[in-house]
């Protein structure tokens, strides 16, 4: 589990393809000795398992495999050498949850349809996939490229979020532009509320729920 609070921005150093799996080498400021083989790291919001790690100047380079499902659903398929990605280490018991609970299981991709910059903040407007739009609510939480953000407004299949200077400075959001695709993970609570609501509607209509 993660909290959507980015702790480093990594850079893709190399990509190797083995059958239908891509092995990514990612440079990070994390200390190599602090990362166990098998550890989970959210990379652009995608939970990936570390399969190798070595010390490097300024931190480390770790490797992780992206499976076909990940490549089909997320922006990982478009990453290239030099791509910068938001990173977050998995939570430990007792850690502060500064954002909201994030699983790293990306639901799909949202597209940036507009951005509006004020003196210090930037408001991004996103188009959500139709099957996910119903889970996004005003003042609710959403994880975009691994960043926990608050939804300011919702209009049909679109929603907007306001990013503060700190977030723009310590994540890849300062580089995002109109037309970019970003990984989206809807709030787990919203998913369960929707499921319970649907189950209640079926029950009220006289349907029988499976055990």
**What tokens does 169 get?**
């400075």
Question: Is 2 among the domain residues?
Answer: no
Quick one: pLDDT at residue 210? 46
pLDDT at 71 over 80: yes
Tell me, yes or no, whether 25 and 84 share the same domain.
yes
Please tell me the total count of domains within the chain. 2
The residue ranking higher by pLDDT, 27 or 190, is 27
Q: Comparing C-alpha atoms, which of 127, 137, 180, 178 is closest to residue 157?
A: 127
- Give the C-alpha separation, 145 to 171, whole Å: 9
Tell me, yes or no, whether 119 and 74 share the same domain.
no
Quick one: pLDDT at residue 114? 98
Question: Is 181 among the domain residues?
Answer: yes
- As a whole number, the mean pLDDT across the chain is 92
Q: What is the pTM of this model?
A: 0.90
Tell me, yes or no, whether 128 and 75 share the same domain.
no
Quick one: pLDDT at residue 211? 43
For the annotated catalytic residues, the residue numbers are: 2, 40, 47, 49, 67, 105, 150
Q: Comparing C-alpha atoms, which of 76, 24, 101, 103 is closest to residue 182?
A: 76
Tell me, yes or no, whether 121 and 186 share the same domain.
yes
């Amino acid at each position: 589990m993660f909290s959507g609070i980015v702790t480093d921005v990594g850079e893709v150093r190399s990509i190797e393809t083995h059958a239908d799996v891509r092995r990514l080498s990612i440079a990070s400021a994390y200390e190599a000795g602090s990362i166990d083989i098998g550890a989970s790291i959210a990379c652009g919001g995608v939970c990936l398992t570390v399969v190798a790690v070595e010390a490097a100047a300024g931190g480390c380079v770790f490797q992780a495999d992206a499976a076909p499902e990940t490549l089909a659903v997320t922006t990982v398929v478009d990453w290239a050498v030099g791509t910068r990605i938001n990173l977050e280490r998995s939570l430990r018991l007792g850690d502060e949850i500064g954002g909201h609970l994030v699983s790293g299981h990306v639901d799909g991709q949202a597209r940036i349809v507009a951005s509006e910059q004020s003196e210090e903040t930037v408001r991004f407007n996103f188009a959500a996939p139709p099957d996910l739009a119903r889970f996004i609510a005003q003042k609710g939480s959403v994880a975009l490229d691994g960043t926990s953000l608050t939804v300011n407004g919702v209009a049909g299949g679109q929603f907007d979020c306001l990013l503060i200077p700190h977030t723009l400075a310590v994540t890849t959001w300062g580089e995002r532009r109109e037309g970019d695709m970003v990984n989206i993970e809807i709030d787990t609570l919203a998913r369960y509320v929707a499921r319970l609501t649907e189950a209640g509607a079926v029950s009220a209509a006289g349907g029988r729920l499976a055990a």
